[in-house]
Amino acid sequence: MRHHSFKNLVVALLVLAVYHVSAQTDIAAAKHKKCILRGKWQLVQTFTEGSLHTIPKADYDAVISFKPFHRYKEEVNYESYHWVIEGKWHVFKDKATLALTQRVYSLGKMEESPTNIIFELFILDKNNWAGSSTAKGKPVKMYYSKFHRSHN
């Protein structure tokens, strides 16, 4: 019985891995990654150290704006901290990669200087993007949803 459930787990993990790789291949082939990413995005969920959880907005609120000329601005509220990081963003032809580089604090501070972040994208459409990266040496997945103008 135990062998059967282990086999099912292995098969499920293989299916997820193939889906993840095929999604990255599709994103790598997308020609308009820059156009899709431009705009304002809200962090809605993270997956860290094997624990999938939704972040309550009151605990951790992050918004990132991808602007023209490869500039971006990230605003974060975490507990009683508030900071803004600005830098450059790049997506690469034939890769499912988003790089946040030349990062500097323009408001507040959490550590000496923010490090570059490289995301391997596994979701990218006009309403959502998600990527895998590392934070302090541990794997992290972040899910963002696009802000849309309200029609008031």
Distances (CA, A) of 149 to 7, 54, 76, 86, 142: 47, 24, 21, 23, 23
Tokens of 113: 């200087």
| Dihedral of alpha carbons 25, 29, 33, 35, sign | negative
Query: What percentage of the chain exceeds 70 in pLDDT?
Result: 76
Q: What is the pLDDT of residues 141-151, one digit of tens each?
A: 899 999 876 54
* DSSP codes joined into one string, 108-128: --SSSSPPPEEEEEEEESSSE
Q: What is the pLDDT of residues 60-99, one digit of tens each?
A: 789 999 999 999 999 998 888 899 999 999 999 899 999 9
Tell me how far apart the alpha carbons of residues 1 and 41 are, in angstroms, rounded to a whole number.
Answer: 46
Structure confidence at residue 136 (pLDDT): 77
* DSSP codes joined into one string, 124-142: ESSSEEEEEEEETTEEEEE
Write down the residue that tokens 């304002």 correspond to.
40
Q: What is this structure's pTM?
A: 0.77
